[in-house]
């Protein structure tokens, strides 16, 4: 894959503009401020809502929590929207994840008014799962390219056990039987690439990781998240830290660090130079 500036810009647009809050939020049910708290409590309990909006003069100006409703009117229990708890409907999903890491819910503003809500449970929806799986795929592709470019020949073999090499060889044989023109390096699994990068100091120095243990722990978390996404399993109970990490480092995931990108470009230029010298005509 050619990681040119235009490719990276296109990927960035996909991951920041292709998946937004509007794709996963829910409408915010609201009541007039004069509505009896007991009446509102009856409805939201039946619907299992934790919060509802409160309207004044037709506009939602705040919210009430179910646990606070009792006597009086909804307006008497109104809580104002804090700036940190309001997000625009066009905001990227990374902002949603980071916002929900600080708050149990985010209120969604569209056309100048708060009209929606997004909570942790909304992160299990298909758009979020597609977005996360896409980022992990990019991480794995970049790892594979680093291994291929930074390890001459098949020198990466020294970092894998004989058992892992045999599994890769068996997969290569099967794919060639299906007339797929691949190499052994193309049959490495996610965990294989992690081990090579973790144990190869030259490659690891191009990443943000200071130690082999950091590489292994972080990539293990990403691999677990990928497996849960692939098998439609819950991703919030055990994978939340990995989700937050991907969201916080979205730009780095999409474009790679400058150091990594420079190294790959240098290796590409060397390869192009070698090819031109071997084919002067």
Q: Whole-angstrom Cα distance, residue 160 to residue 140?
A: 17
Token look-up 């470019």 returns 149
> Is residue 280's pLDDT more than 80?
no
| Fold classified for 5-120 | CBS-domain (3.10.580)
Residue 279 has pLDDT above 70, yes or no: no
What confidence score (pLDDT) does residue 145 get?
Answer: 87
Tell me the C-alpha distance between 40 and 142, whole Å. 52
Percentage of the residues of the chain whose pLDDT score is greater than 90: 72
Predicted confidence at residue 13, as pLDDT, reads 85
The 10s digit of each residue's pLDDT in 16-30 is 889 999 999 999 999
Per-residue pLDDT tens digits for 98-115: 999 999 999 999 999 999
What per-residue confidence (pLDDT) applies to 15?
86
Give the pLDDT score at 278.
Answer: 55
Burial 10-41 (b: 16+ CB within 10 A, else e): ebeeebbeebbbebbbeebebbebebebeebb
Do 96 and 21 contact (CB within 8 A), yes or no?
yes
**Residues spanned by CATH 3.10.580.10 within the chain?**
5-120
Helix axes 126-150, 258-278, angle to 10 degrees: 50
The number of residues making up the chain comes to: 281
Sorting pLDDT into bands at 50, 70 and 90, what band is 256?
low
Task: Check whether 272 has a pLDDT greater than 70.
Answer: no
Query: Which residue in this structure is represented by tokens 């969201």?
Result: 247
CB 37 within 8 A of CB 56: no
Which CA distances in Å does 129 have to 102, 159, 180, 246?
Answer: 21, 32, 29, 12
Render pLDDT for 150-162 as a digit per residue (tens, 0 to 9). Answer: 898 899 999 999 9
pLDDT over 90 at 95, yes or no:
yes
> Average pLDDT, whole number, for the chain?
89
Confidence of residue 135 (pLDDT cuts 50, 70, 90): very high
In this predicted structure, what is the pLDDT of residue 236? 95
pLDDT of 222 strictly over 90: yes
Can you say how many angstroms the Cα of residue 98 is from the centroid of all Cα atoms in its chain? Answer: 11
Reading the block at residue 207, the tokens are 């990443």
Asked if the model's pLDDT at residue 9 lies above 80, the reply is no
**pTM for this entry:** 0.86
Dist CA 187 CA 148 (whole Å): 12
pLDDT(97) > 70: yes
Per-residue pLDDT tens digits for 141-193: 888 988 988 898 899 999 999 999 999 999 999 999 999 999 999 999 999 99
């Amino acid at each position: 894959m050619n990681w040119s500036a235009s490719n990276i810009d296109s990927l960035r647009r996909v991951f920041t503009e292709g998946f937004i809050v509007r794709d996963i939020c829910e409408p915010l049910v609201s009541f007039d401020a004069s509505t009896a708290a007991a009446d509102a409590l009856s409805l939201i309990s039946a619907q299992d809502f934790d919060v509802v909006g409160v309207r004044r003069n037709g506009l939602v100006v705040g919210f009430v929590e179910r646990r606070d409703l009792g006597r009086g009117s909804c307006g008497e229990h109104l809580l104002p929207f804090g700036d940190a708890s309001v997000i625009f409907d066009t905001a990227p999903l990374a902002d949603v994840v980071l916002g929900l890491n600080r708050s149990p819910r985010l209120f969604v503003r569209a056309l100048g008014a708060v009209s929606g809500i997004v909570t942790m449970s909304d992160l299990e929806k298909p758009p979020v799962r597609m977005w996360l799986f896409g980022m992990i795929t990019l991480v794995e592709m970049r790892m594979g390219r680093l291994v291929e470019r930074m390890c001459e020949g098949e020198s990466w073999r020294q970092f894998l056990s004989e058992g892992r090499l045999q599994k890769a060889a068996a997969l290569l044989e099967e794919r060639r039987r299906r007339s797929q023109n691949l190499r052994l390096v193309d049959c490495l699994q996610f965990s294989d690439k992690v081990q090579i990068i973790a144990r190869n100091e030259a490659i690891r120095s191009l990443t943000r990781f200071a130690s082999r243990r950091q590489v292994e722990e972080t990539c293990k978390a990403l691999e677990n998240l990928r497996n849960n996404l692939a098998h439609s399993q819950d991703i919030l109970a055990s994978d939340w830290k990995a989700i937050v990490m991907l969201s916080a480092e979205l730009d780095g995931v999409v474009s790679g660090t400058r150091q990594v990108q420079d190294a790959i470009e240098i290796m590409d230029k060397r390869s192009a130079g070698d090819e031109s010298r071997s084919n002067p005509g």
